[in-house]
Chains A and B, each alone.
Chain A
Amino acid sequence: MVSVEDLRTYFDTPEGIVRAVDGVRFQVPRGKVFGLVGESGCGKSVTALSILRVLPPNARIVSGQILFDHGDLCRLPEAALQRIRGNRIAMIFQEPLTSLNPVFSIGYQIAEPLRIHQGLGRREAVTQVMDLLRAVGIPDPETRIREYPHQLSGGMRQRVMIAMAIATRPALLIADEPTTALDATIQAQILDLLAEIRATTGSALLLITHDLGIIAETADAVAIMYAGEIVEQAATTTLFTHPAHPYTQGLLASLPRHEGGDRPRRLHAIPGTVPKPINLPEGCRFAPRCGRCIEACTAAHPAVREIAPGHLVRCIRA
């Protein structure tokens, strides 16, 4: 459905070049949920923004292909891309308040993509907006349609964002931390809604999160990012039951677990911190924190290997 090949997106900053996304490659098949996980700053959002080419001015896509609908989004002219954005591909952001326009009513904002991309008239658009609001579980849509973003709670705003995103029945939905700003019970509502939408529309979902629990419960396949690279990628169950990269293993081991009732006195902790994006280590980027590091790890940058069908790992010792 969408296929990202060797994507590199760099930022020019006064301190130097930030290699935010550095050779990322993955596919999101139709009707599937692909999870992208990693710690803050590892390049998840820049990957998403690159797909839609809505990057800040100091960013540039240095190399790569993003294949979608028989074309390469990296090379499409801006006008053609505009017909795809918010139509064939839609995005849901973490903070709906900053991405909804405060001066337009909810109804107007949801109707806009329908009027632009599908040429619906006012009447038809209103009817569809009502249906959409009902579909995302907003009670009393007749009233809500006239309200403004600040009048809604965080969970409602996220629903409105989702209603906007699915209005044109996009083939690909990108959700960047869609529930991070929400409470647990509201998060559960939204995740449920996303699953339902995918089941009914068959769209693909690229789900970006730092929460391994959300991935375990919703993603079909998952990629773990570290310092601009994907270090491991597999079907979700494989990744959780047979993690092969020391970073993935460390992440999973650092989660508090409660099976059996006994709690270990200490959690496993990955020592050190994520490297600064300006000064990435030459060899394996995880080497300074890796308990299994040997000389060969720092001598050359490890390539991705397929250790089992569909299970990709960027580690020479996996």
Chain B
Amino acid sequence: MTPLLDVRGLRKYFPIRGGWLGGAPRMVRAVDGVSFQIASGEVLGLVGESGCGKTTVGRTVLRLLKPTEGSIRFEGEEIAALPDRALRPLRRKMQMIFQDPYASLNPRMRIADIVGEPLRIHRLAAGAALEERVVALLEQVGLGREDLARYPHEFSGGQRQRVGIARALAVSPALLIADEPLSALDVSIQAQVLNLLQDLRERHRLAFLFISHDLHLVRYFSDRVAVMYLGEIVEEAQVEALFTAPRHPYTEALLSAVPIPDPTRKRRRILLPGDVPNPADPPPGCRFHTRCPKAFNRCRVEAPRVTEPAPGHRAACHLAE
């Protein structure tokens, strides 16, 4: 069966200013050879530290950014090189929910227009039918007709995130790219919005690329999880396999670093030394070797291949071979 989304060898480089001493312009290798698939109705969690390339993956898949290299197939169709004007039908099927519910809604637009806009752009509804459709969408996210004439500033953060979700759902997408959809929200509101996403996923068989740095939420919501480090996916597996039997030393350290809200359970944290290197100048060999507690000589010179230590479980580490 063809997956809904099939990404192979995706690269996105950004030029950075200051070709130092007049040298060639340098490149930030934000995404550097990433491959993954998402089946219809499946949730792939994407985790990793700030700057590792998660948002860039999401924006490139949506073709808000033009890939530097690689293939992106959506429902079997290659979209990596499609010209912008050919992307419109695609935009109906893939939608994005953003991190910041404050910044992503136009403050001068009423809720009716914010949620109705994609319907108008794609000529899916007009007039009274449009309004009815908008009301139905608002009701799906726990808002209602009385909210049509209100403006974003009249809502709380959680409600604004609901408006963003209603807007994304307007065109009945098959895939939602949710980039930190909960991280601007308070704990008690996170649960409300996560329950909503859970309902929508079941009701519409929605697939998600769920980007988050909150590993508790990722574990709760995802079917499979991919871990990124410096532009690469270093490990990918079914959610429970990844959390209970990680094969990559970075995943191990990341999992051990997450505080658990249970004072009766004491664990040993694996402390990684140092900082994440600059993606404009990644280390040679294994990119993680500067911080890896298990690094050995080979790691400094030879980049590990992706291997499959268990069925459906992939890791890029010499020790996982």
B76 close to chain A: CB less than 8 A? no
Cβ contact within 8 Å between A211 and B259: yes
Chain B interface category by residue count: 35 or more
Q: Is B302 an interface residue (CB 8 A)?
A: no
Contact A210 B269 (CB under 8 A): no
Q: Which residues of B contact A250 (CB under 8 A)?
A: 188
**Per-residue contact bits, chain A 156-185, to B (CB 8 Å; 1 contact, 0 not):** 100000000000000000000000000111
Give the contacting residue for B191; candidates A214, A265, A269, A274; CB below 8 A.
Answer: A269
Q: Is B104 at the interface (CB under 8 A from chain A)? A: no
Asked whether any CB of chain A lies closer than 8 Å to the CB of B215, the reply is yes
Q: How far is the CA of A282 from the CA of B257 in the complex (A)?
A: 42
Distance, CA A211 to CA B118, complexed state (A): 36
The answer to whether the Cβ of B60 comes within 8 Å of any Cβ in the partner chain is no
Tell me, in angstroms, the Cα distance from A16 to B57 when the chains sit together. Answer: 46
Closest to A191 in B: B259
Given the complex, which residues of B lie within 8 Å of A187, measured CB to CB? 257
Contact call A184/B275, Cβ cutoff below 8 A: no
A252 to chain B, nearest CB (A): 7
Question: Which residues on the A side are within 8 Å of B192 (C-beta)?
Answer: 269-271
Q: Which partner residue on chain B sits nearest A213 by CB separation? A: B259
Chain A residues within 8 Å of B271, by CB: 185, 188-189, 192
Most buried by A among B49, B191, B219: B191
Give a binary string over B234-269; 1 marks a CB under 8 Å from any A CB, 0 the rest.
000000100100000000011011111111100001
Contact between chains at B220 and A254 (CB < 8 Å) = no
- Are A267 and B158 touching (Cβ within 8 A)? no
| Interface flag for A258 (CB, 8 Å) | yes
Residues of A within 8 A of B1 (CB): none
Interface size grouping (class) on chain A: 35 or more
Q: Per a CB cutoff under 8 Å, which of A139, A185, A216, A251 touches B259? A: A216
Interface residue? B186 (CB, 8 A): yes
A153 within 8 A of B: yes
Q: Tell me the residues in window 230-244 of chain A with beta carbons closer than 8 Å to chain B beta carbons.
A: 236-237, 240-241
Asked if B213 and A267 sit within 8 Å, CB to CB, the answer is no
User: For residue A267, which residues in chain B have a CB less than 8 angstroms away from its CB?
Assistant: 191, 194-195, 220
Q: Is B79 an interface residue (CB 8 A)?
A: no
Please give me the residue from chain B that is nearest to A212 by CB atom: B261
Q: Is A126 an interface residue (CB 8 A)?
A: no
24 contacts between A and B (CB under 8 A): A39-B187, A39-B188, A139-B274, A183-B49, A183-B50, A183-B213, A183-B276, A184-B213, A185-B271, A186-B49, A188-B257, A189-B272, A192-B269, A216-B259, A216-B261, A216-B262, A237-B264, A240-B261, A255-B187, A255-B261, A256-B220, A270-B191, A273-B158, A274-B186
Residues of B within 8 A of A (CB): 49-50, 156, 158-159, 186-192, 194-195, 198, 213, 215-217, 219-220, 240, 243, 253-254, 256-264, 269, 271-272, 274-276, 291
Chain A residues engaging chain B, CB cutoff 8 angstroms? 39-40, 139, 153-156, 183-189, 191-192, 210-217, 236-237, 240-241, 250-252, 254-256, 258, 261, 263, 265-271, 273-274
Give 4 A-B pairs besides A184-B215, A270-B188 with Cβ atoms closer than 8 angstroms: A185-B257, A215-B261, A256-B194, A269-B192
